Each structure stands twice: as C-alpha cells, then as structure tokens.
Chain A
C-alpha cells in the first residue's frame, strides 16, 4: 500500500481510463496545433513519434542502479533516465550535426550516436567487472542467454541476483541507444523545421539571423522532452531492468502511451511559443 492508500505495485496491465485520458490529451494537442498553425501538424506528430521511440528504447537499456554498483544485480550501475539521457543526447549531438544532410541521414546519425555511446559504455562496464573485479557476467532473470545460449546457473556469486552485463543485456543497451538517439534527433529536427519557418515571419528576423535562435530553442526543447519521456519511462520500470529479456520489459505499452501524451503536450507548448 502506498501512503495514499493505492496499490503498491504498478503491475503490467494497461489502465483503460488513464489511456483514454492520454489519447484525449494527444488529440486535443494535435487539434490545437492544427487550428493555430496548420503547418505544425506534421512536426507535432513527428515529436510524438520521437517520444514513442525514446520511451520504447529506454526499456531496452540494462540498468542495475545501486545494487549493480555492489555487484548484487546485473546491469549498468546508474539510473534509468540518467543513462538513457546520456545515450540519447549523444545521439542528438550527431543528428543535429547531420541535419543539413536530410532527415533520414540525420536520424541515422542520431541513432548511431546513441548506439555508439551505449556500445562503448557497456563494453567498459564489462571490462571493469571482468578485469578489475574478477566477476563474470550473469543474468538474474533468465538461466540461459537468449542470443548466445550461455547458461548462468553457477556463474552468479553467492547471495546475489547476478552481475555484469550478459550479452543479451549488451545488445539491449545498444538497441536502446539507437532508438533513443533517433527519437531525440527526430524531436529536434521537427522543432527546428517549425522554428526555421515560423521565426522569420513572427519575429520579423532574417532566416540567417534567427538560425542560432532556432537551433538553440529546438535543441533545448529536444533535451527537455527527452528527459520527460525518459523519466516517465523510468517510473514505469520502477528501479532496475536487465533488458529485453526482463519481465518488466512487457510494461512498455503503458510508458509509450504516457510518453506520447506528455510529448504531445510539451511539443504543443514548444510550438505555441513561437507562433502566438
């Protein structure tokens, strides 16, 4: 029981009432955007898709939190939103750099930026566990790795739920980085397109003069929306997750619905900021 008298665990099911409210928020946000500034309709839908990618991607990231820092549980020894933000924002950096190359190249560059951060970080986590701490990787949620077929029975040290990053968790981390990087980049690109079009007419500036302002606004809103989607997802995960093989992974539809609604509302505010 929580302090408010509700259930203590979130469970895995979808709350129909909350989902309907989320869909209403999405529809209202899209409707307002269409009425106020019709050209922002497609960008707002892109922002919502970006939020979905981030939220879904974060579920793949193997996060062990404090228990992982003592080798008591598998995963990366930091917070869900923290790590996802690191990967996703590295992706945003790459995607923004490639923005001039077109949306698909930029999305690919953003995805690779996030995936690269996760690939290197996950490798160094295992290097520290194996060579500095003498601990092999072992999952606590499955007895056999779904990809390599390695068995973990006997590789978990006494009194722990496993440790390190088994290969399935490593792959999950990379997939999470790819999706989160692409999602963050998509939000940035959509906002940038709105600002580049709207700022000159609404503020009376030349397109060259407002480029820095457009990039800054789009970048900071993309970072903000990334954190909104990632933190909402972290609440859905509640603590730690090993990756796609973890039973908690099945909770993703709930977080995706919540993040869509949150990104729709935030995206609307980000668009209204320059068109009203």
Chain B
C-alpha cells in the first residue's frame, strides 16, 4: 500500500513537471516561431510583407526536443556515472543542451532569414540578441523539467530505460503534444489576429500576417506574451495529463489481473476522453451553429 501511495505521489509530481514542460515548450516554440505556423512567417516576405518575427523552423518540434532532452539526459547520466550529485548533473545537462538550442536558434534564424534576402527581408541583429536568449530561457525550463521527470520515472518508479533513451522518448512526445495543441492558437489567433474570430483563415489570405503592435512593429516576444495565456497552458495540460495518466494507470492497476488491469484502465480512460471530446464537439455545434454564409446563399436562391 505504501509503495502504491509513493508511486501515485511520484506520478503526480511527474505530471506537474510535465505540465510546466508543456507550457514552456509551446511558449518557446511560439516565441521562436518553430511550429507549422512558421510557414506564414517564411511566406510573408515573399508576398511583400516584411516583418520582425523570429524564424527558426528548420526542424519540427518533436525531433528538436528529442535532441535537446536526450542531450541533457545523456550528459546528466554521464555525470551521475562519475558520482556527481543528481540535481547538479541534471542542471548541468540541461544548461549544455540549452547552449546547443541557442546555437541551433541562431543559425536557423540567420539561415532562414538570409534565404529571404531577394524579397528584401533584413536580418535584424537586435532581434537575434533579444529573442534568442528568451527562447533559450524557456527551453531551459522545458528541458530541465522533462529530464527531471525522466529521472524520477527511472529512479523512483523503476522503468528499465536508461536516462538518455527516456529523454529521447519523452522529448519527442513533448514536442508532439506541444506542437499539436499550441500551433493553431499561434497560427490563427495570433498571426492572423486581424481576421474575424471564430472562423478559419481563408486560404487566399495566406502570408498576410499581423506585423504591427500597439506601438511600432510586432516582436516575437509579444507573440510569447499572447500565446502564454492560451496555447501554453493548454499544451501544458495536454502533456501533463499524458504523463500523469500513463504513470497512474500503470502504478495503480498493474497489480490486478496479471498486468491486464493497467491495460483495461487505459482503455477506460481513452473512452472517457472520447466521450468528453464528443461533448465538446456537440457543444460547439449547438452554441456556434452553422456559419451565416449559408443563409445568404439561401436568400440568393429564393430571390
């Protein structure tokens, strides 16, 4: 009983770390513009809209975070093997990984933006100085919390994977959850803030991203401020729920029915989430209703 309670406590702690990691990951990727919405940042100058948005999407978020978290975990693992204090090892590993992230961000911004020179998009050195460090700070939070979570899963819960492999697996999952949940909010709600709320962006409007703020030109830091209120917490909840339920169902139900208890619990949790999704979908249809354009068509038809 005590062991199960300890396991549930660790699951909750790992879930909390994952929640912070998810929120930091999404905010980092939105400030650095690394997700799919960056297609618009890259496209904008080609359509004549020169901007001051950061641009470092030379890799998807999952492989990028797989690399950084695995790197942090590998260094921490090596340091722990030579008897470093575990917390110090995790911090040093994360710090080194974040320097790699900084090099990645710098070269990606310079490379991607320089490729737009023929469309008169300048490389802004002040952006490189001010935004890169902010993405590094957010990346440190995401990487450190994820690698600490991996360490807890191995040391306290007894998962057989070594720390670097665990870091790779959960780094990729972190990037997948963060990009899936956070991208639409950054893409539609922020980059196309001047288009009507409650509708997708017409394909013909692609590239016309918002480039001006309340005063002066919009910065990527403003994007982080905006998305940290919606997409960041949503991504955090997403990744936190994934980690918590994955651990919780195993810790609590694996002793039942020769291991099948955890499988059945997983199936039940999936069905519960499926029902919630259907309720969300139905609520949206009832509350928002069909788009009014259909009524206009009907009027035209009757006239």
Contact = CB atoms under 8 A, between A and B. Distances in A.
Contact of B238 (A105, A121, A134, A148): A121
Contacts of B177: 86, 117, 120-121, 124
Nearest to B295: A154
B291 A158 contact: yes
Contact of A128 (B162, B185, B199): B185
B40 to A, nearest CB: 7
A116 B281 CA distance: 19
B234 A215 contact: no
A121 B254 CA distance: 24
Contacts of B162: 212, 215-216, 219
A79 interface: yes
Contacts, number: 302
A150 B166 CA distance: 41
Given A93-B161, A115-B266, A72 B242 contact: no
Interface in A133-178: 133-137, 148, 150, 153-167, 170-171, 174
A85 B254 CA distance: 25
Contacts of B269: 116, 119
B173 A86 contact: yes
Contacts of A148: 278
Do most interface residues of chain B lie in helix, strand or loop, or is the interface mixed? Answer: helix
Contacts of B91: none
Interface string B270-281: 100110111011
Interface string A202-222: 000000000110011001100
Given A72-B200, A170-B277, A89 B185 contact: no
B126 interface: no
Contacts of A154: 290-291, 293-294
B165 A219 contact: yes
B180 A78 contact: yes
B35 A69 contact: yes
B251 to A, nearest CB: 10
Contact of B184 (A69, A94, A96, A97): A69
A76 B187 CA distance: 13
Contact of A70 (B176, B181, B188, B197): B188
Interface in B73-127: none
Give the interface size class of chain A.
Answer: 35 or more
Contacts of A108: 260, 263, 266
Contact of A71 (B201, B270, B277): B201
Contact of B270 (A76, A119, A126): A119
B276 to A, nearest CB: 6
Contact of A134 (B60, B259, B288): B288
Contacts of B274: 119, 170-171, 174
A56 B116 CA distance: 39
B283 interface: yes
Interface residues of B, number: 83
Given A65-B36, A94-B250, A132-B189, A117 B202 contact: no
Nearest to A85: B172
A221 B211 CA distance: 45
A102 B259 CA distance: 9
A163 B183 CA distance: 13
B267 interface: yes
B238 A133 contact: no
B198 A121 contact: no
Nearest to A86: B176
Contacts of A87: 176
A275 interface: no
A163 B204 CA distance: 16
Contacts of A215: 160-162, 165
Contacts of B266: 94, 108-109, 112-113, 115-116
A54 interface: no
A70 B169 contact: no
A83 interface: yes
Given A70-B192, A96-B160, A134-B197, A82 B273 contact: no
20 contacts: A71-B184, A72-B200, A77-B187, A78-B62, A83-B176, A85-B62, A96-B160, A97-B160, A105-B263, A109-B262, A117-B176, A119-B277, A121-B181, A121-B242, A124-B238, A128-B234, A129-B184, A135-B198, A137-B281, A155-B290
Which 10 pairs show the lowest CB-CB distances between chains A and B?
A: A86-B176, A159-B202, A112-B266, A71-B200, A154-B290, A69-B187, A134-B198, A101-B259, A157-B199, A77-B183
